[in-house]
Amino acid sequence: MECTVSWTGNAGTQSAMGFVAETGSGHVLTMDGAVDETKPENGGRNQAPRPMETLLAGTGGCTAYDVVMILKRGRHKVERCSVKLTSTRAEKDPKVFTTIHMHFTVAGKGIPASAVERAIALSHDTYCSATIMLGKTAEITTSFDLIET
């Protein structure tokens, strides 16, 4: 797997913290910093997600992918799945994630709560590389709602 991240800013401007990532699969993702009124040279234009937001979003995508695949392999009729991640970060550099809570909402027909609980646990403990990696610095907790459709 590879990715090239290129700075889009210009050192002579006040909003110089934009980046474009091109993934090995040929997709493009933009990232930007927040506007920093106290240090304009360090700030961005607030035109895209922050890099750490992108990391959190990727983690959510990784675990949601696992949960849907595990449920589908169990022949459950999954119609929707989402995960809301809330996190805290260390106050001092490096400002790693220290807690992450993942709240899943799964909707479908006749899915037992035990199957959702198992799918989340398998993702969290075995399959989701991002969750397992971030679990080295963050306490990761999960919860879920199951909606019958």
pTM of the predicted model over 0.85: yes
Q: Cα–Cα distance between 11 and 36 in angstroms, integer? A: 15
What is the pLDDT, as a whole number, of residue 44?
82
For residue 41, pLDDT over 90 is answered with no
Using 50, 70 and 90 to split pLDDT, how confident is the model at 10?
low
Q: 3-state SS string over 95-149?
A: CCEEEEEEEEEEEEECCCHHHHHHHHHHHHHHHCHHHHHHCCCCEEEEEEEEEEC
The CATH code that applies to domain 51-148 is 3.30.300.20
- CA 69 to centroid of chain Cα atoms: 17
What is the pLDDT, as a whole number, of residue 43?
74
For residue 59, pLDDT over 60 is answered with yes
* Domain residue ranges of the chain, discontinuous segments joined by +: 3-42, 51-148
Tens digit of pLDDT for each residue in 121-147? 999 999 999 999 999 999 999 999 999
What is the pLDDT, as a whole number, of residue 11?
57
What is the pLDDT, as a whole number, of residue 12?
56
What's at 67, amino acid-wise? V
Average pLDDT, the chain: 93
61: number of Cβ within 10 Å = 13
pLDDT cut 90: percent of the chain above it? 82
Average pLDDT over residues 37-49: 80
